[in-house]
Amino acid sequence: MRTKIHLLFGGKSAEHNVSLQTAKAVMNAVDQSKYDVQPIYIDGKGLWHKGALLEGKVDDAKLLEYKQADESVSPLTLTETENEVVFPLLHGPNGEDGTVQGLLELLNLPYVGNGVLASSAGMDKIAMKAIFAQAGLAQVHYVGFIRKEWEDNKENVVKNIEQTLNYPVFVKPANLGSSVGINKATNREKLIEAITEALQFDRRIIVEEGVTAREIEIGVIGNEEPECSVVGEIVPKTEFYDYQSKYEDGDTALIIPADVSDDIYNSVREMAVKAYKALDCSGLARMDFFLTENNEILINEVNTMPGFTPVSMFPLLWENSGLDYPSLINKLVELAIERHEEKTKIRYTFD
């Protein structure tokens, strides 16, 4: 029996449109001669819309059909056949943060990517950095706080940030990716403005101390025995790699492989695997690092569902490591099935 892949895309998230880009790319690259592909669009309200089985290529008009669908379905429609794998192509909250992963665990379905723990901890930058610190991974200094602390005493929050960190700092929603809601602050006035904007996207905020460094990234795939790609470097033409640089301007340079020594590459790879295991990642992740002028390596963050178009960093890293885009998709499906089979060894009764 052919394996059926349910592609989940869209989602109730500020990264909804990024997910659409990812979904379109995967739909046009997945091997339809090997898999039955079932698109499932999740709208901005969180309702699920089931499209017809995929046939041929997908263009923007086809994506618009999914977005205009009226009738919604229950997520329980995922469990229709025996040979099924779910591929969540969701970025941000309500998709990449462990919520959908928890649902798929309850439905006992194999799915591509990280489990509940890695997804939730990887999405929340404050929790993620706490785990990295526990694992002994070097990182930039930071301060985290919640909306209520800000509303109760803004002056105290600002004072704590200024006593702990040096300007410039970067203010981020703790639970978003794709650089949504991120701003650089060089003084108190800009800090307050940046926090005000970030609080529109999350109730938890992280402020990180700026560092003069190269931005390098590495791809990781695997379950119990993760493998690493070559290292890539981001050279944004703007002051930092923001949402517009990533998805709108298209003029950010991605250098693959990055010009780093073997020693630097080996250190980045070791740190990436250590972080991957500390979060209990599975399937895939992109690990982001800073490389300072004195060759100090600082881990920045993990992305448990990285941008996945053919021109995104993660697939390009693997293409330059000998694994092309369609083969990468196939590998991730195989890893999902492998991990699901591993879970069948777990006992759930005392009988």
Which residues are part of a known binding site for Mg(2+)? 288, 301, 303
> CB-based contacts of 273: which residues, under 8 Å, 6+ apart?
220, 226, 228
- Could you give the CA distance from residue 219 to residue 226 in angstroms, rounded to a whole number? 10
Which two tokens mark 315?
Answer: 């697939």
What is the Cα–Cα distance from 205 to 106, expressed in whole angstroms? 30
Q: How far apart, in whole angstroms, are the C-alpha atoms of residue 22 and residue 16?
A: 10
**How many Å apart are CA 29 and CA 309, to the nearest integer?**
10
Annotated binding-site residue numbers: 125, 170-172, 178-179, 208-215, 288, 300-301, 303
**Best CA proximity match to 229, nearest among 312, 291, 294:** 312
Cβ atoms 4, 78 nearer than 8 A: no
DSSP state, 88? E
Radius of gyration (Cα) for the chain, nearest Å? 20
- Residues 182, 174: Cα–Cα separation, whole Å: 10
Q: Please, are residues 114 and 281 in contact by the beta-carbon 8 Å criterion? A: yes
Cα separation, 286 vs 344, in Å, equals 27
Q: How far apart are CA 74 and CA 271, in angstroms?
A: 41
Task: State the Cα–Cα distance between residues 16 and 10, nearest whole angstrom.
Answer: 5
Annotated binding site for ATP: 125, 170-172, 178-179, 208-215, 300-301
The set of catalytic residues is 15, 178, 312
Q: What number of residues does the chain have?
A: 351
35-42 vs 227-235, strand pairing mode: unpaired
